[in-house]
Structure 1
Amino acid sequence: MSTHGDVLHGLSRADFPACARSRPASCAPRRAGEHARRPRIRLGKRRGAEAENSAPDATRIHSRQLSAASHWPVAHAALPPDGGGGLGCAPAMSADEKTFPRDFTFGVATSAYQVEGGIENDWAEWERAGRLKEPHTRCGRAVDHWNRYEEDYGLAVDVGASAFRVSLEWARIEPERGRFDGAALEAYRERLLRMKARGLRPVVTLHHFTHPTWFHRETPWHTPASVDAFRAYVRACAPLLKGLEALLISLNEPMVVLLGGYLQGLLPPGFADGPKTMAALENMVRAHVAAREELQAVLGRVELGISQNMLCFTPDRWWHPLDHAAVRLGAHAYNHAFHEALVTGKLRVTMPGLASTRAEIPQARGSCEFIGVNYYSRAHLRFLPRYPFLAFQFRDRLGRGLTDIGWEDYPEGFGEILRETKRYGLPVWVTENGIDDRGGQRRPHFLHRHLEQVLAARAQGVDVRGYLYWSLLDNFEWLEGWGPRFGLYHVDFDTLERRPTPACAYFRAVAQGRRLIAPEALEAQPSAAR
């Protein structure tokens, strides 16, 4: 999940530009009478020559934000230097408004490479090439979910979850192009059936950042062959999904894959090429359509979407019109261009000085049943007069303290992002939201403030159906390696022992009680922790 932060930071803390919209933004608090502009984007940190040569505050996208985590958010109103106090917080709620309906889903999220272990793919090659922040870091056995899945399902049930997000590892299923491993397919089928038997609805991601080792050599995303390769992979996977009534995600955070892997060179395959980025973007939209066709042929009706990393963007200098323009452009490109293509069949991206595309893909129109939102933070954008033209930073302007990975804790932006999705007229699933909290004490309050935003958005007509916390377990966080800890359960990376953090009791109380409560209220109950 932390990958998106590194990628954004890499864009000089922002190599990503975007198509603009001129609607006012409300992500950031603003002064009375001041009009807000609303860009959205998800950013992270980036490595590379461009980042080194950019302004001193240029940043990279973080792996978690890339990945699950991994994301680019909403455009914010201009913020005066003092940060603007408590404006933008969720409105006060009545007792009834603090209640979640019975059909609202609470769940947890993971991805295959980050938790399963024993996988040989493009990320394993990237690690051996020394491309992580700590060059000798290896994912290796990860947290051994491949062998401990029954234990982990039990942990999810124990915190009150009724859904469990996993991904299928393409490299495990198709280690050589055209050769599909029947044992791997059968193993995934068995795991998903066991998940459902435990009362957990499967949420299945078909592609979560990683590729087989042959993919970038033979069918990289900027070539039309990538669509055929993805279609063949999904065709092989479709039968194992029969009868599961799973929520399906074709692609996780495609903009992070594109920005990090094709524009910045921070992620596999390591390209830094604007035209290739735009060609890859169009092919990923077409790959989603191909996946839908293959799934429908086997399953009939499907609930299919993508998970989009969405950042809440705000101008770094509230008084500078070009920072506002950067926010508007960035928000459209990073947060909305892909979903707009799936809803309208029109792909529009404008990245001044970098790359642009305008494509008609009529088959993509109406090709998703829900909007998947991955939200982690707010990003401050600054216009630069030279390449890459954008700088990105996480700032603590409200004095709440940055999270341990260095991101701003800004739940108000989450609410704004959710309200932004209302334009699509589709159900919304929060497919990732979480905090790197290595001490474990901040997470209950993080959950409270972000779930409060979910309830506020629902009260304002946003059809939010579920909330999946990232992550059930501490895990391997892409470029960040083993440092960040997003898990409801702390994992000892030496012994692989799972231990509950204080957030487990809070998540359980809300999920089982269907009611938002303050963490302090739970702490006052002697039986709260188990």
Structure 2
Amino acid sequence: MRTSERTFPADFTFGVATSAYQVEGGIENDWAEWERAGRLKEPHARCGRAVDHWSRYEEDYRLATAVGATAFRISLEWARIEPERGRFDEAALEGYRERLLKMKDHGLTPVVTLHHFTHPTWFHRETPWHQPESVEVFRRYSRRCAALLEGLDARVITFNEPMVLLLGGYLQGAIPPGIADGALTMKALENLVRAHVVARREVGETLGRVETGISQNMLAFAPDRWWNPLDRALVRLGGQAYNHAFHEALSTGKLRVNMPGVATARVDIPEARDSAEFVGVNYYSRAHLRFVPRPPFIEFKYRDTQGRGLTDIGWEDWPEGFLQTLRDVKRYGKPVWITENGIDDRSGTRRPQYLHTHLTQVLAARAEGVDVQGYLYWSLLDNFEWLEGWGPRFGLYHVDFDTLERRPTPACDYFRQVATGRKLVAPL
């Protein structure tokens, strides 16, 4: 790597990411119901107070600025804002407005996600995503959210990882709403695309031109058996469906999914064409795909192919796939934002090296002409990690889940050094 490729430009943004349910605490939504039903890997785990970011938000903003962050990604919790269908909680709206204004006061640009997996408890019963009415319900919610962002110069993410929501919630039945139906999955996918379009329109009509997009989880894929043509076919089909179908729908207006025997969609949505100002990428790992002769015909495996050791959540540490992922999204001709990237590192010792190897790939992608404009680390804090409960630790700051004390991990110093110095240096 040439010297010039080891330097981030002055306008490159370093920031951190969170989501409401995982950090705020005190939220009653579909995931809270899921927990009470014992549907987590640890059946007795509860998010509950989370890490009490709702009360400690200014402390957490100071922690973000202490590591050199100039952007802070949050989500707005739909269940707080609209706890009953059609009834919006003004106190919750004012609370989010106050927190966003304080964020700006701390020198942090808001990156605001309207939907990060969770729903009000009424949603799946009354207007689930596989029904067309869901689009109008989300449009109305988005309009109220847009009003919170007046004068903040926020970047807006309509949906976080829509394909994860669909794969887990509609195809596997592993997360809310717990459906396992390929046809309903494709109906829900279409409505999510349409919901993005109407949400973007509401944001634009309220605020003028605002950079709006989605945040898509993107995996590197490899065949589990390099010699097996069915495994190789799964890599092609799975990569297109999982990584690119949603992005391509927002680029071309054509929604295309082709996973024979699992789920298929071929829908033209002209209003979705060119409906994102940026491409949001969440990247963590690589998965090896194996064909199995029973529905859904795909088996995911994480392999430690390079002897680096799997991360503590069991994923492959594969920075090489980050570069390939960034090359792949260059096709959309839009600025790219890394909206999540991070490691479950429960000892706190691996994270600086992880940051170094993955930021190296960001610079390599920029050198190849990929317009990567920002990097948001997942996450500022250890938090409640969905089905995994309280085990994983992705935070730059370690959180004592009993006392809620935040303590810096070694990665804080490394992140600060790169974010403020703009140069990629090797961790000590």
Q: Which runs of 4+ in 1 moved over 4 A?
A: none
Aligned to 1:488: 396
The partner residue of 1:371 within 275, 279, 284 is 279
Aligned to 2:136: 228
Q: Structure 2: how far apart are the matches of 1:387 and 1:331?
A: 18
C-alpha displacement of 1:382: 0.8
| TM-superposition CA deviations, 1:54-103 (whole Å, max 9, x none) | xxxxxxxxxxxxxxxxxxxxxxxxxxxxxxxxxxxxxxx12221000000
Aligned to 1:206: 114
Aligned to 1:347: 255
Check if 1:177 corresponds to 2:85. Answer: yes
Q: Structure 1: how far apart are the matches of 2:339 and 2:406?
A: 23
Q: Structure 1: how far apart are the matches of 2:263 and 2:223?
A: 22
Q: After TM superposition, list the pairs within 5 Å mapping 1:111-510 onto structure 2.
A: 111-510=19-418
| TM-superposition CA deviations, 1:143-183 (whole Å, max 9, x none) | 00000000000000000000000000000000000000111
| TM-superposition CA deviations, 1:220-275 (whole Å, max 9, x none) | 00000100110010111111111111110000000010111111110101000111
For 1:466, the aligned partner's letter is: G
For 1:508, the aligned partner's letter is: R
Aligned to 1:62: none
C-alpha displacement of 1:369: 0.3
**C-alpha RMSD of the superposition:** 0.5
Q: Structure 2: how far apart are the matches of 1:271 and 1:391?
A: 19
Aligned residues with identical type, % of pairs: 78
For 2:231, the aligned partner's letter is: D
Q: Structure 1: how far apart are the matches of 2:200 and 2:314?
A: 37
| TM-superposition CA deviations, 1:117-147 (whole Å, max 9, x none) | 0000000000000000011100000000000
For 1:251, the aligned partner's letter is: F
Q: Structure 1: how far apart are the matches of 2:30 and 2:300?
A: 27
- Structure 2 regions of 5+ residues with no counterpart? none
Q: Structure 1: how far apart are the matches of 2:233 and 2:101?
A: 49
> SS of 1:306's equivalent?
strand
Q: Structure 2: how far apart are the matches of 1:196 and 1:424?
A: 31
Alignment coverage as a number of residue pairs? 428
C-alpha displacement of 1:354: 1.4
Q: Structure 2: how far apart are the matches of 1:428 and 1:142?
A: 30
| TM-superposition CA deviations, 1:322-367 (whole Å, max 9, x none) | 1110000000000000000000000000111112010010000010
C-alpha displacement of 1:453: 0.2
Q: Structure 2: how far apart are the matches of 1:113 and 1:386?
A: 35
Q: Structure 2: how far apart are the matches of 1:397 and 1:240?
A: 46
C-alpha displacement of 1:302: 1.0
For 1:386, the aligned partner's letter is: R
C-alpha displacement of 1:296: 1.0
Q: Structure 2: how far apart are the matches of 1:318 and 1:355?
A: 24
For 1:252, the aligned partner's letter is: N
Aligned to 1:59: none
Q: Structure 2: how far apart are the matches of 1:173 and 1:469?
A: 26
C-alpha displacement of 1:387: 2.0
Q: Structure 1: how far apart are the matches of 2:344 and 2:406?
A: 17
C-alpha displacement of 1:385: 2.4
> SS of 1:377's equivalent?
strand
For 1:501, the aligned partner's letter is: T
> SS of 1:311's equivalent?
strand
For 1:249, the aligned partner's letter is: I
> SS of 1:206's equivalent?
strand
Q: Structure 2: how far apart are the matches of 1:110 and 1:501?
A: 17
For 1:161, the aligned partner's letter is: A
Q: Structure 2: how far apart are the matches of 1:386 and 1:267?
A: 21
Q: Structure 1: how far apart are the matches of 2:206 and 2:263?
A: 38
| TM-superposition CA deviations, 1:423-461 (whole Å, max 9, x none) | 000000000000000000000000000000000000000
> SS of 2:326's equivalent?
helix
C-alpha displacement of 1:467: 0.3
Q: Structure 1: how far apart are the matches of 2:148 and 2:156?
A: 12
For 2:65, the aligned partner's letter is: V
Greater relative contact order (CA < 8 Å, ≥ 6 in sequence): 1
Aligned to 2:11: 103
For 1:120, the aligned partner's letter is: E
Q: Structure 2: how far apart are the matches of 1:152 and 1:188?
A: 15
Q: After TM superposition, list the pairs within 5 Å mapping 1:67-78 onto structure 2.
A: none
| TM-superposition CA deviations, 1:290-341 (whole Å, max 9, x none) | 1011111110101000000000000011111111100000000000000000
TM-score, normalised to structure 2's length? 0.99
For 2:88, the aligned partner's letter is: F
